[in-house]
Structure 1
Amino acid sequence: MGAQLFIGEGQFIDLPVRFEYRRDAPFAVLLEFPDSDEAVGTWEFSRDLLWEGLHKPAGLGDVRIWPPCHCHGRRQLRIMLMGRDGTALLDVPVKPLRGWLRSRSFALVPRGTESELIDWDAELSRLAGDR
Structure 2
Amino acid sequence: MPGRQPFPDQGPTAGADCAVLTVAAQLHIGEGQFIDLPVRFGYRGAEPFSVVMEFPGSDPAVGTWEFSRDLLWKGLHRPAGTGDVRISPPCRCHGRRRLRITLRGDDGTASIDVPVGPVQGWLRESFALVPRGREAELIDWDAESRRLVDGR
Instruction: Give TM-score scaled by structure 2 length.
Output: 0.83
Deviation at 1:130, TM superposition (A): 7.1
1:42 equivalenced with 2:47 (yes/no) = no
Tell me which stretches of 4 or more aligned residues in structure 1 moved more than 3 Å: none
Distance, in Å, in 2 between the alignment partners of 1:108 and 1:37 is: 31
Aligned to 1:25: 47
Say which SS state the counterpart of residue 27 (structure 2) adopts: strand
Distance change in 2, residues 1:82/1:130 (3 Å): closer
1:53 equivalenced with 2:75 (yes/no) = yes
Deviations 1:6-55 (A, max 9, x none): 01121001110000001111000000000201111100000000000000
Distance, in Å, in 1 between the alignment partners of 2:97 and 2:116 is: 8
1:121 equivalenced with 2:142 (yes/no) = yes
Deviation at 1:102, TM superposition (A): 0.5
Counting only pairs closer than 5 Å after superposition, residues 54-93 of structure 1 correspond to structure 2 as 54-93=76-115
Letter of the aligned partner of 2:52 in structure 1? Answer: L
Say which SS state the counterpart of residue 147 (structure 2) adopts: helix
What runs of 5+ residues in structure 1 fail to find an aligned partner? none
1:109 equivalenced with 2:130 (yes/no) = yes
Letter of the aligned partner of 2:45 in structure 1? Answer: R
Number of aligned residues: 130
Letter of the aligned partner of 2:133 in structure 1? Answer: G
**Identity of matched residues, %:** 74
1:95 equivalenced with 2:117 (yes/no) = yes
What runs of 5+ residues in structure 2 fail to find an aligned partner? 1-22
